[in-house]
Each structure stands twice: as structure tokens, then as C-alpha cells.
Amino acid sequence: MSVQVSYKKQFLLGILFLIIILVVFEIFSQVYYINEVATCRFIESEIFENVPESTLNEMCSSYRSIKVPFDPYWENIPNQHNEYVNINSFGFRGAEISKEKPENVYRIIMLGGSTLFGYGATSDETTIPGFLQKKFETTDSDFKVEVINAGSSGAYSKTETLYVKHKLLDFDPDLIIVYDGWNDSRIPYTSHIGERGLAGQLYDSVNHLQSIFPYYKTPIVIREIGRDLISAEEDTIATRIDANLDQKVILWKERWNESCLLAQTNDIKTLITIQPMLGTGDRIVTKSEESTSGLSQNDVKQLPLYQLQKFVDVLPELTNCTNTADLTHVFDGHNEPIFLDLGHVGEQGSMLISEKIHELVLPMINRK
């Protein structure tokens, strides 16, 4: 009898000890999450040097709260609203729209990752699509132009082309604009070919736990630490350049040629662009931009060149697409702070990109 009681006590003490360990680790995880995970690099940018810290923290929290399910399309979960970001009932950033295109409206859908979505923008209107919409509102035309922001965090050609095929065609666009490059180059090749590597499986497990326990931070911290361990060797420019980059470029080209052909059959025009990154073009990188990029000055000039130039080189091979454009030099001659990190830009950058896209699109619209 005493032996049974002893075993029961040991079992209960073991359970209690396990609970204490989990509680302690969760407390550590909550602190780690606040200080390391839930922060936004853009708050350190000199672009926001005159913005109160409290406002920047609110912006950071707003962007961290936006949910993307990482389904085949990686579209934003509909009906998310806060002070800085609005996701409408269709999962697009911005005001509510009708699915049926209104009469006398030229509808443009813009696709891309978080750089197109407008990570770090102070409002829906100060994103690239937002500025493009403003530009068209001051352009003389016999019809109204409607610009839809269908960007979402992490999106790349695989998710974007599925998004076009299975959802966006239903919105009857006249023109689809793609703002690509960064995500396609950095997302693991295993994801490109439909396999989930160790990092992908870790993300899937954490996302599942988060859907069940949204306030439990331990899985997120395990994911972040695990990701750091998995990519611990990726500290130099040589290891950051993916050995499978050529294969990624081939997949990117094939996907967009196929999607552009599909668009053609639906009387939809396409404009495929390669985005700028910190270090592309002839612009001088500022000290603040170098600091927030997380790279050395040497790597800042090498990494984007290696990552994006191969995509730029195959633009002429997108023969099914209406038009293509290399935007990597869009900031040449601008020495003011532009980038919030390696790829995201502030309002000045978004405005300059929208002006260039407007210049490219205007002749396409006039040939409607």
C-alpha cells in the first residue's frame, strides 16, 4: 500500500514539476516575444525619426496582428481592421469593394508580398497601390480606375499564380500588376516544389497550435529559436545565395508565362515587375538603411544583385505577358532614406514606385 502511495506521489510530483517548467518557460516566452519577436525593424528607421515611439509601437502591433492563413493562396483573412490596416471582406487591403466591376471602371489588381501589401505604411493610402490609386484620381480619363491591393505577407509566384487562377479572375480585372522578386528568391526551394522542409514543418506545427491557443507564446519562441538554429550557417553572403536560385527563376518564369496566357484568354492585360531592394541600382545606401537591413555594407551591395538580377534577365522570356519592367533602378538619384529594411520601403519609396508604375500602365490603359 505504501509503495502504491509512493508511486502516486512521485507521479503527482512529476506532473507538478512539468507544469512548473511549462509555466516558467511560458513566462520566459512572453518576455522574449515582447522584446524579440513582436518588435518591428522599421521602428528603428530614420524615416520615422520624428514619429513618437508610442505611435511606432502601435503601428508595429497593428501589423503583427494581421493574420495570413498560409493556405494555397496566402490571402489575408477577411475583415481585419485596426488604426493602420484595413482588410476588407474579400481579403484585400483597403476599403470595401463590390465583387462585380462597376460600369465605366477600369479595374487593376496588384499582386505581391508584404512589400506590395505595404508593411510599415502609416495607412492603406500610403502603400504602393494606395499611391497609384491617388495618381489615377488626378489623371484625366473618360473612365474611373480602381486599384485593388491583393498583396499579402510572404506571397510569391507559386501562391500568387494560384490566387489569380482560383480567385482573382472572378473579380473581372482589366489589368494584373505583379510586384515580385524578393520572396521568390529567398523562400526555400522545397516550398517552391511543394515539399515542406524542417523549417516549413516547424511553421505548420506552430501555426496549428496558435490557432488553438492564440495567447500561448511558447510555440512561437520555439519556432524562432529553431529557425535560427536551422539557418545558423547562413551568416555569410556565400551561404545566403541559394544554390537552387536558377531552378527558382525557371519556376517563376514558367508560372507567370502560364498565368499570363490564362489572362490573355480572359482579355486581361498583365504587367510583371521585379522590385527594387536595398543595394540595387546606383543609389548610395544610408547608414541607417545599412543598420536596419541586418547586413554589412558589402553584403548589401552583393546580395540583392545576386538575388534579383537572374529574375531581371529572364523578363524578356515572359512572352505571354503584356508588359514587363525592371524596377531595380527606380530609386537612382534619390539619396534620402528610402528603405525600412532590406526590401520594405517608406512612403517616399512607395510613392516613387507608384509613379513609375503609373508611367508604365498609362499607355496600356489607353489601348483598352
> Tens digit of pLDDT for each residue in 312-336?
999 999 999 999 999 999 999 998 9
Give the tens place of pLDDT for each residue, 198-257. Answer: 555 656 666 666 666 666 667 666 666 655 554 444 444 444 456 688 999 999 999 999
108 and 245 both lie in a single domain: yes
- pLDDT given for residue 240 in this prediction: 47
- Residues recorded for the chain: 368
Q: What is the mean predicted confidence (pLDDT) over 48-64?
A: 90
Pairing of strands 269-274, 175-180: parallel
28 and 44 both lie in a single domain: no
- pLDDT given for residue 234 in this prediction: 44
CATH no. for residue 298?
3.40.50.1110
* Domain of residue 6, residue span: 1-37
More confident residue, 70 or 59: 59
Where residue 196 falls among pLDDT bands split at 50, 70, 90? low
Burial of 236 (0-12, 13-18, 19+ CB in 10 A): exposed
Treating both helix axes as pointing N-terminal to C-terminal, what angle do 218-230 and 198-212 enclose, rounded to 10 degrees? 170
Report which of 173, 183, 58, 168 is spatially closest to residue 115, judged by C-alpha positions: 183
- pLDDT given for residue 226 in this prediction: 59
Q: What is the mean predicted confidence (pLDDT) over 8-25?
A: 82
Residues 63 and 84: their CA atoms lie apart, in Å, by 8
Q: Residue 148 pLDDT > 70, yes or no?
A: yes
For 60, 93, 158, the CA distances from 125, given in Å and listed in that order, are 17, 10, 27
Cβ pair 139, 363 in contact under 8 A: no
- pLDDT given for residue 65 in this prediction: 84
Lowest mean pLDDT of 75-89, 241-255, 287-301, name the range: 287-301
Pairing of strands 175-180, 105-112: parallel
29 and 45 both lie in a single domain: no
**Total domain count, the chain:** 2
301 and 336 both lie in a single domain: yes
Residues 150 and 117: their CA atoms lie apart, in Å, by 7
**In the block, which residue shows the cell 512561437?**
220
C-alpha cell recorded at residue 355: 509613379
Average pLDDT along the chain: 85
DSSP letter (8 states) at residue 37: I
- pLDDT given for residue 250 in this prediction: 95
